[in-house]
Amino acid sequence: MARSRLLLAAALLALVAGRAAEGASISSLQFLGEARLPNGLMFKDTEVGGLSALAWDGAGATYLALSDDGSERAPARLYRLTIDFKDGKLEDGDVKVTGLVTLRNTDNQPFAKLTVDPEGLAQAEGGFLFLSSEGRAQDGIPPFIREYAPNGLVRRELLLPGYYLPTPDGKRGVRNNLGFEALTLTSDGGFLFAGLENSLAQDEPQADFKVASPSRLLRFDASSGRITGEFLYWVDPVFAQPKPPTGRKLNGLVELLGLDPQAPLL
């Protein structure tokens, strides 16, 4: 699920996560503003729009933003950003794109068109990154969670349970465009949590008007990559009928933030 603008929420939460990792107690969040990136913004011959995740690199005002482009307009990629919070607020002009990292597949090649759906991002020690893809269930392309080096090369792939992988009949595994949307590391870097946007096909139902959806969360040991837990989070029902009634109805778990060594903030 792409975002057409960069919202304060992501930037602020990344900042909060960094402070939590430094041992500060986080008891509340405060809205400081919003920065919009212009439609059609270009950087090194790529379109920047459709940012799906944001991670603080742990130093100063530098962030990494994940493009939600499935290699349609340019190869799948990350952007480096600087975000200016010096005056205590966020507004248009405070976000600058400063760098580009092209992501690679397991063959160390840029992703081919429509072979990936980048969604979740979490920064680990040493500049390494965890990244999730929803996959493309309708095309038989499975989701993945991988660790990447700062230069965009794959370091390792985390093994997913078989029942997360989509089947051709659509009756099992992640739903199309409703897979691993949310990703976070706990503040001590010990655990990685990955959350589905909506239920697996076999879990039923998908979120709808007055209908909640049971999204699964996986907890990985970040060092070994081994799954150490699986949890259920009920996504709220769609709060209102669309107008017209045939319009899109969707509610989902789109982000997580780890504030302590045990569990993330939903």
Q: Nearest 5°: phi and psi at 210?
A: 65, 15
**pLDDT of 102:** 98
For position 237, what pLDDT does the model report? 97
Residues 260/191, Cβ–Cβ less than 8 Å: no
Which DSSP state fits 152?
A: S
pLDDT at position 90: 87
Can you tell me the distance from the alpha carbon of 90 to that of 12, in angstroms, rounded to the nearest whole number?
A: 9
pLDDT of residue 265: 65
Q: Tens of pLDDT along 157-199?
A: 999 999 999 999 999 999 999 999 999 999 889 999 999 999 9
Nearest to 250 by CA among 197, 204, 200: 197
- pLDDT score at 3: 42
Portion of the chain with pLDDT greater than 70, in percent: 88
pLDDT (0 to 100) of residue 24: 54
From the list 136, 76, 135, 134, the residue with the least C-alpha distance to 100 is 76
Q: Mark the ranges of the chain whose per-residue pLDDT is less than 50.
A: 1-21
Q: What is the DSSP string of 232-258?
A: EEEEPPBSS--SSTTS---------EE
To the question of pTM greater than 0.85 for the whole model, the response is yes
